[in-house]
Chain A
Amino acid sequence: MSNIRPITPLDRLARALPKVLFAAYLALFIAYLFMPLIIMSAATFNASKFPTVTPWLGTTLGWFRELWNDAAMWKALWLSLGIGLAVVAFALPVGTAAALFLTSLNARARGIFYAVMVSPLLTPGVAIGIATLILWRQAGVAGGTFLIVMAQATFITAYVMLMVVARLQRFDRTQEEAALGLGASKWMIFRRVLLPFLKPALIAAGFIAFLQSFENYNTTLFVRGTDTPLTVYIATKVRTGLTPAVNALALILIALTLVTALVLELNRRRKER
């Protein structure tokens, strides 16, 4: 045992090095993710006319007031909310129907339809917008709110479909037979057995669908006509006259997302217990 030498501080360092490096990486990663959001939020309170944190020209809440008084912002916000609700109203039933349709097919047909149904998710958003725009122009419909809903729903329906399919895979079909054997009509089976089972997936899918619609920009840009939903409003502001009022909007949206994410997470944890 004479070849064992005492552990030197250098050895300790060598042994700890990977851990230290990894901790640094982790810290950098989190900083990378959050620093931009923090800086953007902080700039809201800077009196500077251009949103920045350097130099700090004094703390103000004035940009919130300006945002509040911005009629165009309010119009864009209401429009986005309306579009989001319309997309959810369309995508939920259609996505559910598609999921049910898919599970009723044999393996081969399922593969084909699955590829077709998933394809909007693998298509660039701009292409979806353009295709929708061109199709509807033949029918004499120009870009605007209706086309925004149609174009967004094209791929958001696919998200809903996937989420419902995932839930359906855990459904025991004998429940339907049991209900049928007890004399239930097809409608009653759907309403009392299948729909309650799908409910959690539908709530989650509706939520995701709304968020996807609310934050969509690429597809919307091509079909919007002269209508301006919130994302387009923000992007336009950046190019035509950015003030920290936009940061105030960003801050509010971030805060809302944080609260929602927190509520959902707590809800999930409570359910797990």
Chain B
Amino acid sequence: MSHSVELIDVEQAFGDVKAVHHFSAHIAGGEFFSILGPSGCGKTTLLRLIAGFTEPTKGRVLIGDKDMAGIPADRRPTAMIFQSLALFPLMPVWENIAFGLEARGVPKAQRRKRAEELLELIALPGYGDRMVHELSGGQRQRVAIARALAVQPQVLLLDEPLSALDLKLRQHMRAELRALQKRTGVTFIYITHDQSEALAMSDRVAVMSAGVLQQIATPQELYANPATPFTARFVGETNAIVGTVRGIEGGLATLTTAEGRFTGRAGPGLTDGARATIFIRPEAMALSRIALPNSLNAITTSLEYEGASAMLCARSEHGQELLAAVPNRQLAEAPGQGEQIWLSFAPEEALILAEEGQPA
């Protein structure tokens, strides 16, 4: 089993700017762990801190239960894959892959042999003598991974490595990365701003916003039970209606909003009278021609066909934008544009979360 990574109350400041606040996480050995957040949220800083390119201003980084303070990047059991890949353009592929071995003084014949093995692993046998610029985007990607794996790292750090690829290739590489991780058993820490990427590959995901950790959870948990309004909005599509809590009972809360009264599951730490938002996923919305409990009246504005389902967009009379997923088999009965409809949802499928900065 490869090494675990433990971050204890890590903080990173650049001058007056705090890029990371009090970040704590335990990443198990052999886990595929993603850090998800919009650009500028501090996730790359966090990764560089684990790699040892920067030292944290406060807090500790442990890799394999060993404190990394004062240990520079070249002596940590990590390897990093950069957003730009940072392959060496003037070396052939095999020398790129074997670079870490060269740094460790491995004799040339052995380096070459190991490079060939890794080329097999990434399904590029016989590519050793090509130059980097002769490879396609996806092939370069794989070479960068092989180069990192060659030094047999305990932890592989990946900084949005798929962002330069086109959609089709990106989806293919996701599966490949996941398979590779399973095969090698190396701990992966993966940084991305693309939530579908994080959900598809990871064992667990940490969501970050403005340097602050929002939640660490499995993808399913993250989607079903977001801990903060930020997570609820950032992960997946959702309907969000702001209001005030009026009564909590047996795990359910009632919220009064400009659109009416709604009942949903009470999120953690929700208190009566607090300002809160109710989140309803589009697929939880049901369409009807009559008013039901927990329903909103709206006029459809568009219907966008997305293949497996269609996304119905509507606007309430107060201007609230609403989304509802319409499964294919119901498409025939879907309302036309400008039609008056009701959108309803079951209380168990809605989640009410306290807004930040409000008394909780």
Contacts and interface: CB of A to CB of B under 8 A. Distances in A.
B79 A182 contact: yes
A34 to B, nearest CB: 40
B33 to A, nearest CB: 18
A183 B53 contact: no
Nearest to A173: B86
B103 A174 contact: no
Name which of B51, B86, B91, B151 has the most chain A CB atoms within 10 A of its CB. B86
Contacts of B104: 183
Contact-size category for A: 10 to 19
Contacts of A192: 88, 91, 99, 102
A174 B51 CA distance: 13
A178 B100 CA distance: 10
Interface in B68-92: 72-75, 78-80, 82, 84, 86-91
Nearest to B79: A181
A184 interface: yes
B115 to A, nearest CB: 13
A182 B51 contact: no
A181 B99 contact: no
A116 interface: no
Contacts, number: 67
B73 A177 contact: yes
B193 interface: no
A193 B96 CA distance: 10
Interface in B173-195: none
Given A177-B53, A177-B82, A182 B103 contact: yes
Nearest to B76: A181
Nearest to B51: A181
A185 interface: yes
B142 interface: no
A11 interface: no
B107 to A, nearest CB: 16
B74 A180 contact: yes
B111 interface: no
B84 to A, nearest CB: 6
Given A177-B53, A178-B80, A192-B99, A183 B86 contact: no
Contact of B86 (A175, A185, A188): A175
Contacts of A181: 51-53, 73-74, 78-80
B86 A172 contact: yes
Interface of A: 172, 174-175, 177-185, 188, 192-193, 196-197
